[in-house]
Structures are given as structure tokens and as C-alpha cells.
Amino acid sequence: MIDADNHEVSQRKAQLNKACQARDTAARSAEEAALFLVPKRNIESWFRYLNNQEWNETENFRFATNDGLAKEAARNLHRMCFDEQKLKQPSPASLEDACLEWQRFQHG
């Protein structure tokens, strides 16, 4: 997991693959039980979305008051991504990508 910050999610995923290559580690295979989770701008954007707060993928929420959001966010993510198989709209594109990663992991 790595925050996208001001980069694109695809750029960060490529960066993770390059880091593997630099360490003579094989890139992630389609069958491998490994996920690339890349929140855009940072994980706090996901926490805010998942807790029905104002969010966007450009503002840095890292230093905003986010205490206690992670636990409830995890519950809501499980409910949406796994139980209901959909995120409430509009949703962060980077979180949509993360849900696809989890589905790949579960069915891989």
C-alpha cells in the first residue's frame, strides 16, 4: 500500500513493480495473493468517503481531524466491496480500483 499523493494510481503501481525488479523479485503474477492498494491523494480520503464525510482525491486530508475513522471505514468498506459488491456513488476512483484488487485476490 502506498498513497498516490500527486501521482496517478497507475504510476504508483508501476513504481511498486519497478521496486520489485530493482530487488530481483518477480513482478506480481495474476495468481499471486498480493494487492496493490493506492489511495489517491491519501488514505484519509478513503476514510472520509467511507464515513460519509466530504472527500475528494486532490485535497490532503492527512492533517485533518480523522481520529477514529479507520475502524468504521473498514467495516463500511467490507459491507460495500464484499457484501453489496458496489460502492455508493460517487466514489473515489482509487477506491474502485482497490475493490477490483480485493476481488482479484478473493477469486485468484
Residue 72: the pLDDT is 93
Q: What is the pTM of this model?
A: 0.84
Q: Taking the chain (108 residues) in consecutive chunks of 10 residues, what is each chunk's mean pLDDT?
A: 94 92 87 87 94 94 82 92 90 94 72
Domain map (residue ranges) of the chain: 9-107
Residue 59 has, within 13 A of its CA and on its CB side, a CA count of 11
C-alpha span between 39 and 1 (Å, rounded): 8
Residue 12: the pLDDT is 95
